[in-house]
Amino acid sequence: MKPTRPFHQTPVIAIDGPTASGKGTVATLVAAQLGFHLLDSGALYRLAALASLRYEIAPDAADDLAALVGDLHITFREGCAQLDGVDVSNEIRAEEIGNRASAIAVHQAVRAALVARQRAFRKEPGLVADGRDMGTVIFPDAPLKVFLTASVEARAARRYKQLIQKGFSANMDDLLRDLRERDARDSNRAVAPLKPAADAKLLDTSALTIDQAVDQVVQWYQAQ
């Protein structure tokens, strides 16, 4: 029987970046190609945001939000995000939920409540984790850290396409404004601000296809 590596040696590819930079799709495809587990940390925050809306907990009620997060029944099965046993994969992708997730993520108590849940995804043979602080806070010892970015115009166009495909209404001007506001909030928050890890590899996906971005990440990992 092949011996299991110590926890800290289980490989992690941390992929961080702003909203609609392509990190979720890239992370999913990289994980599939390498046969690794996948952590969509953004989905965890969106699930928390959806639950806070359902339980009528205000985005600025940090202690109540942290208590709620600790009690949430969250599962990921076959690509579906479930809250209390119900598939809410499409519901959590609404812009209202994304903006609310960004608002509650500024609270240290909320982020602390989700740390253990995120780190528990680190299992053999490896993990691809995407989010905003995977390389800086959650997995600072990851052997490969990638920071994906793209122009706000390119990201807005991608977000528009995603929303339309999922049956949501969308307005390009509203998306541009929301992305700029979310970027500012995520980058300037006091706790775990959005920024590249000191040893992260930067990848601008503005002019890249998804396949090109995936190939680059896989090449970086194989070169480690």
Annotated binding site for ATP: 17-25
3-state secondary structure of 81: strand
Do the beta carbons of residue 70 and residue 113 sit within 8 Å?
yes
User: Could you tell me which residues are annotated as the binding site?
Assistant: 17-25
Return the residue matching tokens 């490896």: 126
Whose structure tokens read 């995936």? 214
* 68/55 Cα distance (integer angstroms): 9
Region of residue 56 (left: phi > 0; alpha: psi -120 to 50; beta: else): left
Rg (CA), the chain: 17
Whole-angstrom distance, CA of residue 29 vs CA of residue 142 = 18
Structure tokens at 217: 């990440």
Q: Are 166 and 93 in contact, with CB atoms under 8 Å apart?
A: yes
DSSP string of 87-144? Answer: E-TTGGGSHHHHHHHHHHTT-HHHHHHHHHHHHTT--TT-EEEEESSIIIII-TT-SE
Euclidean distance between CA atoms 8 and 224, whole angstroms: 16
